[in-house]
Amino acid sequence: MSHHDVRLWAPDAEHVDLVLGADGSTRIPLRAGEDGWWSATDGTLDPGTLAPGSRYAFAVDGGSPVPDPRSLHQPDGVHAPSAVVDTAAFAWTDETWTGVPMERAAVYELHVGTFTPEGTFEAAIGHLDHLVDLGITVIELMPVAAFPGRHGWGYDGVAPYAVHDAYGGPQGLARLVDAAHAAGLAVWLDVVYNHLGPSGNYLRQTGPYFTDRHHTPWGEAVNLDGPGSDGVRAYLLDNARLWLEDYHLDGLRLDAVHALHDERAVHLLEELAALADEISGRTGVPRSLVAESDRNDPATVARRGPGGAGGVGLHGQWADDVHHALHVLLSGESQGYYADFADADAIVKVLGRTPFFHDGTVSSFRGRVHGRPVDLEVTEPWRFVASLQTHDQIGNRAVGDRLHHGIPAGRHAVGAALLLTAPWSPMLFMGEEWGASTPWQYFTDHEEEWLAESIREGRQAEFAEHGWSGEVPDPQDVGTVAASTLDWAEVGEASHAQMLAFYRALLHWRRDTPAADRGTVGEVTREPDGTGGELLTVVRPGVALLARLGGEGEVSRALPGRDEVRSATQETIAAFGARLGEPGSGEVGLDPDGVVVVRR
């Protein structure tokens, strides 16, 4: 709540008090208005009563005071009173910012709490130059909505409007966004609209925010289509508007939209897309909404049409099938949902033809047909965000080991080259670019011991089902957070610096090559190398790539689409056999786990 707005949506309440002060010593009855809103009567509050920083809460029907569902700050924790914030007082300097369109997105996913040892927005500002030099155009922040304790992933947030205090609160987020814009970087924020966490969730006490008609794996489903859901939808739409307007954010990553159960004719996602488009058109700065969806349905990002025709109209969606195919190719793992991606055609399909390996094919993990074909002439390839590593795919492993911890550096370079020359919009996970040695593990900071123990036991049992018999790091141990925090001292070390240089060169090629920007698809082949290894070739406008995985000794090949290429290249990263160059003469010699990328 800003200091200009004192009201609560509580449509089923008979009496609501505004509770003032950290000790709750003053109660002021509110007046019932239209559509379930309660507000202060004119003249009830003295000027300055709710100045920025003032604490307040609401008591419904004589119950205990609870935080404001639209609280912008919970400086004393998610169970304490809310604090007034005046978002109009943010000191913005980004008046000339014109944004980054989705088709130019090179995304960097980061968790504020472990991106730096300090774990704050302010500390993250100190590393923006690193991201600019790397060739990143968009920062994607993992959730910053207030959650219990100091440390956590953020997906158990309980105050969707409030910025987590330990990160730096509302002012800190505004400063990071402003600084990023000054550096030429867009900022997206990961938001969770399908559920709230279990600890500190007081929304049910104020309104019909949840429903028993639907369920999610993580908690109560949000009420999007039942009685009272008009107000709930307004709550979520206003939340998106807060981030995109008051905080100047350039986009939102929408968590697990397949768990947004909405049976209305106009889905909430369509309303969110319309909102983002309206703000983009009015301000001239593009706002991108990117969905995490398990449906493999291109309608998620197909354009909206008149009269309900067309798709949902979001601007992008994660393409997990690309990650899965790359992971299996590079690691050899094929358990669980990776099983189908051991198919020899999987990598060829997702790098050359479609972001969805399952596009109407049988998914053995799901036990059914899954997905729908994508027409890339209609739905542009850059609308699909692909990755080699993400917070989910690392952090939900038993010990949080990154992909490159289990493979040679050369094979990591192969993965980077395949991702960054693919037609999809690329996304890195923090530290990936230098082959960070630190894991990224699951951590929480719950006060309730029963909840902490439940999480420990649940994760141990889940990993046991997947064949993991070792000790899983304790999510409640602060040492788990420390182990997951990036070590920036590594960046200058030889092997890490070489990997960083390779990522930088590929991202700069992508930035400077119009064909990559347009997301054109290419030709991909996979074949034995004759020594027990494999060769992958990719040819697209602007680039040709030859990668080798495994085998013995060196093999020589010419890249398809060119009669000759030069093996003496502009930049050689000998430590892991990754090379970049211009077309020339001679064949390319490749060691096992090596890759050559040639600009065309």
Per-residue pLDDT of the chain (600 residues; tens, 9 = 90+): 444 478 999 999 999 999 999 898 899 999 999 999 999 877 778 777 899 999 999 999 999 999 999 999 999 999 999 999 999 999 999 999 999 999 999 999 999 999 999 999 999 999 999 999 999 999 999 999 999 999 999 999 999 999 999 999 999 999 999 999 999 999 999 999 999 998 899 999 999 999 998 889 888 899 999 999 999 999 999 999 999 999 999 999 999 999 999 999 999 999 999 999 999 999 999 999 999 999 999 999 999 888 767 899 999 999 999 999 999 999 999 998 999 999 999 999 999 899 999 999 999 999 999 999 999 988 999 999 999 999 999 998 989 999 999 999 999 999 999 999 999 999 999 999 999 999 999 999 998 888 878 877 777 776 666 666 667 899 999 999 999 999 999 999 988 999 999 999 899 988 887 766 566 778 899 999 999 999 999 988 878 889 999 999 999 887 765 544 433 333 444 445 676 665 555 677 888 999 988 876
Q: Is 304 strand, coil or helix?
A: strand
Q: Where are the alpha helices (DSSP H) in 183-338?
A: 229-241, 268-283, 320-331
**Could you tell me the CATH number of the domain that includes residue 39?**
2.60.40.10
- The answer to whether position 59 is within a domain reads yes
User: CA 573 to CA 410: how far, in whole Å?
Assistant: 10
- Computed over its alpha carbons, how large is the radius of gyration of the chain? 25
User: CA 254 to CA 313: how far, in whole Å?
Assistant: 13
Q: Is 29 strand, coil or helix?
A: strand
Whether 581 and 599 have beta carbons less than 8 Å apart is answered as: yes
Give the other-Cβ count within 10 Å of 144's Cβ: 28
Residues spanned by the domain of 585: 521-599
Residue with tokens 């109209």: 313
Binding residues for substrate: 253-258, 320-324, 391-396
Regarding whether 537 and 487 lie in a shared domain, the answer is no
Question: Which pLDDT score is estimated for 574?
Answer: 42
Q: Is 481 strand, coil or helix?
A: helix
- The answer to whether position 94 is within a domain reads no
Question: Of 89, 113, 131, at which residue does a domain stop?
Answer: 89
- The answer to whether position 239 is within a domain reads yes
Regarding whether 107 and 22 lie in a shared domain, the answer is no
Question: Of 42, 62, 89, at which residue does a domain stop?
Answer: 89
Lookup: tokens for 97: 């910012």
- The answer to whether position 513 is within a domain reads no
Question: Of 477, 507, 537, at which residue does a domain stop?
Answer: 507
The end-to-end CA distance of the chain, in Å, is 55
Query: pTM (2 decimals)?
Result: 0.95
- The answer to whether position 95 is within a domain reads no
Please give the positions annotated as active site: 255, 292
From start to end of 119-197, where are the E strands?
Answer: 138-141, 145-146, 159-163, 186-191
Regarding whether 203 and 61 lie in a shared domain, the answer is no
Regarding whether 591 and 487 lie in a shared domain, the answer is no
**Could you tell me the CATH number of the domain that includes residue 125?**
3.20.20.80
Regarding whether 181 and 106 lie in a shared domain, the answer is yes
Regarding whether 106 and 79 lie in a shared domain, the answer is no
| 189-to-139, 154, 428 alpha-carbon distances in Å | 8, 11, 15
User: CA 462 to CA 541: how far, in whole Å?
Assistant: 44
Helices and strands counted in the chain (H then E): 14, 29
User: CA 475 to CA 446: how far, in whole Å?
Assistant: 10
Q: Which helix (H) or strand (E) holds 251?
A: strand 251-254
Binding residues: 253-258, 320-324, 391-396
